[in-house]
Amino acid sequence: MSFGRTPSMASKVHRPRERLPATKHADLMRAMFPTLRLRRRGAEFVWTGQLQPTDVSAVYTVNITYADGSIPKVRVVAPVLTPRPGADRVPHTYDNGTRLCLYAPLGDEWRSTRPISLTIVPWTCLWLYYYELWHATGEWLGGGHDPNGSSEQDATREAGSLVGIA
Amino acid sequence: MQLTTSDSTSVARRRPISPLDDVLEIFCEKLQLAPSLHEVAESHYVAVGEWLGDCPVLSQFGPTIYPQGSFAIGTTTRPVTRREYDVDLVLELTGLRNTVDPIQLLTVVEGRLRANGVYAPKVEKKNRCVRLNYAGDFHLDILPAIPDGTGTSRVLVPDRKLQDWTPSNPRGYASWFGRRTQVLDQVALKAEIQALPAHEPAHSKTTLQRVVQLLKRARDIYFEGREDREPRSIVLTTLAAEEYQGEASISRAFGSVLARLTSRTLAYPAPLRVSNPTNPGEVLSEHWLQNAAAYLEFLDWLQWLTARWAKVAAPGGLSLLRDNAVAMLGAADVVTEALKAHVANTEQERRLANLFVTRNGALATGAGVSVVRTNTFHGE
């Protein structure tokens, strides 16, 4: 996977081997998604704001937390995520369906060298889109790791560097 | 990979992902006469035209056959309660004058069709036309017409009670409708150019054609079981074409046509008088003028549709969109298929690394503040 860059950001995302400090993530978030507001809780950075994947989608309030040396965690604050009638949980979540699973944790889709604004936020929008489609059709149409089997649903991930994580 | 920090620099290339427009588009495409059947119907009517043209009686009067109605203007919609599509044809006898009795002319046409072993079992005599039934697919309704003497495309056709001839202009109407599909509101165009569907199918229809198909479909759902009360397709088509402002997006065009239509009915206390714009003598809404109750039912339907549409277009999530679209258009399986076809479009863009997120956190193709990079949804 490669990351494009703009002249204005070049100095900030230029050295991909170096871990991006949370303050740099914050700079990029402010520049790219100004509606996501930052609060600091000690070492923890918390961005809160609204995302609406399409003009007919619901408006979701999401919470993204990150601290240096940790991984970004995304939760949907409102509306509360709910399983479909007949399903016991929301797919592609952790922590009893409150935290979103946006990427393969053992791969390099996300690393601390990569801006949250260029990875986690777009994936959150995409996740919300597929969440609504799951409610509408009964199928998770966004591909990804199938917790109930080994088959992969989606070829898109094959462009990623780590395929077939179980 | 290109990355932009500001949406405004690349707005011309950006198209929001629009599940609603895609669903409406794909729904209409699935419910219209399929291109293969369209070709079959066309070859049938050409053959019928040749058979009628070779008739010793009719051939003396310069017969020509051409389509009219939804088949001619590309707004076919599968009926709710039966399987056959209507294909309306005009048999114009250019050498006749209005001294001919329309019933006698219909009898000649019927007799000629019954003289052919292929057509004979398909023939059905109707009030003002002769029908050929192609079971399960469509029927061809052949309406005789004669020139009105003005030297234009205007004609005379048998009137409803078949006592006399009445003015019409199917060819003029089709050209007028074609021109209305091309109306482009420069303001709307500028604002919506990015909302054009990303995947334009080969047989794609114009926005106005889609709006008409949706109106007819919602009409069929609402009036199911009491079709005698429903507003005529030609009336809905004319009203939609008159009110269409050139929006590119189907959902915006549909919402705006509904709103303008409502204003028009409110501004006019009596039943609307809708005429063929290319032949004002042809009053299309005569059943409203004769039957005020039927007009009130149209108003009820318009109110029902406006309320349904508000729900469909509301930002309540794609599951509600699906449910509300089904309530308005029926065919739950087709709506779901359309939604999945929309997702397939999105997946295609995702694979091509052409799916982006905008500054406001919406999905778009073409441009945005960040591309949606490859990921693998994980989880327990």
Q: What is the DSSP string of B153-181?
A: S-EEEE-TTSSSEEEE-HHHHHHHHHHHH
CA distance B7 to chain A (A): 10
Torsion sign, CA atoms B169, B183, B214, B272: negative
Question: Strands (DSSP E) along A79-121, which ranges?
Answer: 93-94, 99-100
Q: What residue of A is the nearest CA neighbor of B352?
A: A156
From chain A, the residues in CB contact with B355 under 8 A are 126
| pLDDT at residue A16, rounded to an integer | 58
- CA atoms of A46 and A51, how far apart (whole Å): 15
Contact A54 B318 (CB under 8 A): yes
Phi, psi of B88, deg, nearest 5: -100, 130
Q: Is A80 on the interface with B (CB under 8 A)?
A: no
Query: What are φ and ψ of residue B362, in 5° steps?
Result: -115, 155
d(CA B13, CA B363): 13
Average pLDDT over residues A137-156: 66
Q: For A28, name the nearest residue in chain B, comparing CA atoms only.
A: B5
Subunit contact A4:B16, Cβ cutoff 8 A = no
Residues 288-327 of B with CB under 8 A from A: 313-319, 321-322
The gap from C-alpha B115 to its chain's centroid, in whole angstroms, comes to 35
Asked if A141 and B343 come within 8 Å (Cβ–Cβ), the reply is yes
Q: Is there a contact between B380 and A94 if contact means CB atoms under 8 Å apart?
A: yes
Residue A156 or residue B222, greater confidence: B222
Interface mutation target, options A55, A76, A88, A127, chain B, most CBs of B under 10 Å: A55
Is B20 within 8 Å of chain A by CB?
A: yes
Going by C-alpha positions, the residue among B278, B324, B91 that lies closest to residue B175 is B278
List the single residue in A33, A54, A157 with the smallest CB-CB distance to B374.
A157
- State the smallest CA–CA distance between residue B61 and chain A in angstroms: 57
CA dist list (Å): B368 to A36, B237, B307 = 16, 38, 34
DSSP category for residue B311: H
Taking the C-alpha atoms of residue B312 and residue B221, their distance in angstroms, rounded to an integer, is 15
Does the pLDDT at position B195 exceed 90? no
Looking at residue B4, what is its pLDDT? Answer: 43
Does position B9 have pLDDT exceeding 70, yes or no? no
Q: pLDDT tens for residues B139-180?
A: 999 999 999 999 999 999 998 777 889 999 999 999 999 999
Chain-chain contact of B372 with A130 (C-beta, under 8 angstroms): no
Q: Which residue of B has its CA nearest to A126?
A: B363
Q: Which residues contact B147 (CB under 8 A, 6 or more apart)?
A: B92, B94, B96, B154, B155, B156
User: Nearest Cβ partner of B359 from A33, A109, A155?
Assistant: A33
Is residue A29 within 8 A of residue A39, CB to CB? The reply is no
Q: Which residue of A54, A102, A109 is in closest CB contact with B362?
A: A54
Helix (H) or strand (E) holding B18, with range, is none
Q: How far apart are CA A10 and CA B114, in angstroms?
A: 81
Say yes or no for a CB contact (<8 Å) between A133 and B378: no
| Residue B272 near residue B243 (C-beta atoms within 8 A) | no
Parallel, antiparallel or unpaired: strands B279-283 and B275-276: antiparallel
pLDDT band at A1 (very low <50, low <70, confident <90, very high): very low
Contact A122 B317 (CB under 8 A): no
Q: What is the pLDDT of residue B10?
A: 43
Q: From start to end of B58-164, where are the E strands?
A: 63-68, 85-93, 123-125, 130-134, 138-147, 155-158
Nearest to B317 among A2, A36, A58 (CB): A58
Asked if A56 and B19 come within 8 Å (Cβ–Cβ), the reply is yes
pLDDT per residue as tens digits for the range A54-103: 999 999 999 999 999 899 999 999 999 999 999 989 999 988 788 999 98
Distance from CA of A52 to the nearest CA of B (A): 5
Question: Which residue in the block uniquely carries the two structure tokens 């990804």?
Answer: A144
- Assembly ipTM: 0.86
Identify the pLDDT of residue A15: 53
Taking the C-alpha atoms of residue B79 and residue B241, their distance in angstroms, rounded to an integer, is: 21
| Cβ count within 10 A of residue B49 | 17
The model's confidence at residue B279, banded by pLDDT at 50, 70 and 90, is: very high
Average the pLDDT over B225-240 and give the result.
95
Name the closest residue on chain A to residue B18, using Cα atoms: A54
Residue A147: what pLDDT?
A: 60
Question: Dihedral sign, CA of B248, B215, B37, B30?
Answer: positive
Q: Chain A partners of B351 at a C-beta cutoff of 8 Å? A: 155-156, 159
At B338, the amino acid letter reads A
Whether the CB of A153 is below 8 Å from some CB of chain B: the reply is no
**Average confidence (pLDDT) over B249-262:** 97
- B113 neighbors B126 (Cβ within 8 angstroms): no
Residues of B numbered 231-250 whose beta carbons fall under 8 angstroms of chain A's beta carbons: which are they? none
CB-count exposure of residue B128 (10 Å: 0-12, 13-18, 19+): middle
- Model-level pTM? 0.87
Region B78-98: what's the mean pLDDT?
A: 88
Structure tokens at B215: 């109106």
**DSSP designation for B221:** H
In the block, residue with structure tokens 């009964």: A138
The answer to whether the beta carbons of residues B336 and A137 sit under 8 Å apart is: yes
Task: Verify whether the Cβ–Cβ distance B373 to A6 is below 8 Å.
Answer: no
Residue position matching structure tokens 């990569």: A114
The model's pLDDT over A99-139, given as tens digits with 9 standing for 90+, comes to 999 988 877 788 888 999 999 999 999 999 999 999 999 99
